[in-house]
Chain A
Amino acid sequence: GAGVSQTPSNKVTEKGKYVELRCDPISGHTALYWYRQSLGQGPEFLIYFQGTGAADDSGLPNDRFFAVRPEGSVSTLKIQRTERGDSAVYLCASSLRRGQPQHFGDGTRLSIL
């Protein structure tokens, strides 16, 4: 079946702009996660959704970052007033339920010029 789908695969924008990154999880998966991965590092947790609600947003670095999952399926990660330090690969994962193995998409490579 289809895996986790993330769009766009690449995004280049200027410092100060607003960006939206989309994640389409595996059908039927109730749990959805966002991570950020810098070159040579492991993924770093950002936020976890159970259904429509953000159950744990403690990994969001500051209030420029926000994520939604209005219908309990597709999720959007939103970054306001982007900074060069936001450049990274943003990974989305989903799992059947909390605690089950997480399956990752191929990420969005975000570059802030």
Chain B
Amino acid sequence: EDQVTQSPEALRLQEGESSSLNCSYTVSGLRGLFWYRQDPGKGPEFLFTLYSAGEEKEKERLKATLTKKESFLHITAPKPEDSATYLCAVQEETSGSRLTFGEGTQLTVNP
């Protein structure tokens, strides 16, 4: 059974204080690992897909990396508008459809 564990559950940062979120996963064969951002009362917003170990993707202040067991979402010099819940999900090779999500990391960036 696919499993995704995210840490920490919650993270408070000061504006400009860089940090990383962790996503550890267990899957029989990884088709893709997905990062989403979710604001209160909204649906998850797609950020990145990573397909193979060593791959990196960047978007503004965010950079996602992937190894065979985990993924990191690095946030450089965050701003208050980066405050949200960040969700990680894996897609298994054989199904290629369903996403298995972690419980998310709630990020708060204080001005």
Contact surface of A with B, Cβ cutoff 8 Å: 4, 31, 33, 35, 40-45, 48, 50, 55-56, 59, 91, 93, 98-99, 101-107
Contacts and interface: CB of A to CB of B under 8 A. Distances in A.
Contact of A103 (B42, B46, B49, B102): B46
A41 B41 contact: no
Contacts of A93: 43
Nearest to A46: B98
Given A42-B87, A42-B104, A106 B96 contact: no
Given A99-B31, A99-B32, A48 B43 contact: no
A101 B49 contact: yes
Interface of B: 4, 31-32, 34, 36, 41-46, 49, 87, 89, 91, 95-104
B43 A99 contact: no
Contacts, number: 59
B42, B97, B99: residue with the most chain A Cβ atoms closer than 10 Å: B97
A101 B34 contact: yes
A-B pairs, top 7 by smallest CB distance, nearest first, are A42-B101, A104-B43, A45-B98, A99-B96, A48-B97, A106-B43, A104-B44
A75 to B, nearest CB: 14
Given A4-B43, A42-B103, A56 B97 contact: yes
B84 to A, nearest CB: 14
A83 B75 CA distance: 41
21 contacts: A4-B43, A31-B97, A33-B97, A42-B101, A42-B104, A43-B87, A43-B99, A43-B101, A44-B101, A45-B99, A45-B100, A48-B97, A48-B98, A59-B98, A98-B96, A98-B97, A99-B32, A102-B46, A102-B99, A104-B44, A105-B43
